[in-house]
Structure 1
Amino acid sequence: MEKHDINTREDIERLVNTFYEGARKDDVIGYIFNDIAKVDWPVHLPVMYDFWESLLLEGTYKGNAMQPHFRINKLVPLETVHFQRWLQLFEGTVHELFSGEIAELAITRARSISEIMNFKMNSINHPEQDKTKIPLVNPGKQKE
């Protein structure tokens, strides 16, 4: 079957359903969805449809995507390996199902989401590391 781009709400639903079907069974992150967050899928999936539709097409998502992740992070630290695996699964799902400009935009957006969430969770989980990421600047001296 020839792949097409992500163009409709139905495409978004196919992407989200296929992605989470794999993520729930995954050895690295599945337990977070199943055992820690105990996701109520009939409630969660429509929220994810709205979220991705807003990012890729035109949608009306108005939630706070970070808040649930902060709650989960208190139960089990969400670490870089979790975000890397989430992204790997998401990119694989997009490439498996779709091809085109909006499909590539989905991957770009997923990469940004993964990086931002990973940074924020690691700032909480490993606060001592934050200071090493900030370059020291001496405002009194400038390079010539």
Structure 2
Amino acid sequence: MKDIETRNDIEFLMRDFYSKLLTDPAINYIFTDVAKIDLESHLPHLTDFWEQSVLYKGSYRKNVLQIHQDLNNKVTFTDLHFEVWLRHFNDSIDNNFSGPNAERMKTRALSVASVMKIKIYN
């Protein structure tokens, strides 16, 4: 398997990841009923965030924490939500990519989830 090397790799990964999230009843309602995301319009933002986080390219400037705190005000996130999110994220990476960037992305995802839990629960 190849490593995550391009924006297209990240977009592919996000599509795979969201296909898992949107079909998992433990978490899909947050995206479909609460956030009401349109994946096609949301995908460039997701790709921007991860491209900057992993490949150090781009200029993502949104406040990811605030976006999720606002969403948490509508539906309370639980430990299960974070566990499911992280499991699908890691599975999507492990099923499609291998290498230093893939490992970096999994580490960053764990960091993002951990910080969000701390900030949202306090």
Query: Higher helix fraction: Structure 1 or Structure 2?
Result: 2
- Deviations 1:89-121 (Å, cap 9, x if unpaired)? 100100000000000000000000010111112
Structure 1 runs of 4+ aligned residues shifted over 3 Å read none
In the alignment, the residues of structure 1 paired with residue 108 and residue 26 of structure 2 have an alpha-carbon distance, to the nearest angstrom, of 22
Compute the TM-score of the two structures, normalised by the length of structure 1: 0.81
In the alignment, the residues of structure 1 paired with residue 17 and residue 116 of structure 2 have an alpha-carbon distance, to the nearest angstrom, of 18
Q: Is the 8 A contact 1:79 1:121 kept in 2?
A: no
**Structure with larger RCO (C-alpha < 8 A, sep 6+):** 2
Amino acid at match of 1:14: F
In the alignment, the residues of structure 2 paired with residue 19 and residue 101 of structure 1 have an alpha-carbon distance, to the nearest angstrom, of 19
User: Between the two proteins, what is the percent identity of the paired residues?
Assistant: 41
Q: Corresponding residue for 1:131? A: none
Q: Which runs of 5+ in 2 are unaligned?
A: none
Amino acid at match of 1:40: D
Correspondence 1:38-53 to 2 at 5 A? 38-53=36-51
Q: Corresponding residue for 1:19? A: 17
Compute the TM-score of the two structures, normalised by the length of structure 2: 0.95
- Deviations 1:3-51 (Å, cap 9, x if unpaired)? 1000011101111111011111112111100011111222211000100
Correspondence 1:1-144 to 2 at 5 A? 3-57=1-55, 58-123=57-122
In the alignment, the residues of structure 2 paired with residue 86 and residue 118 of structure 1 have an alpha-carbon distance, to the nearest angstrom, of 12
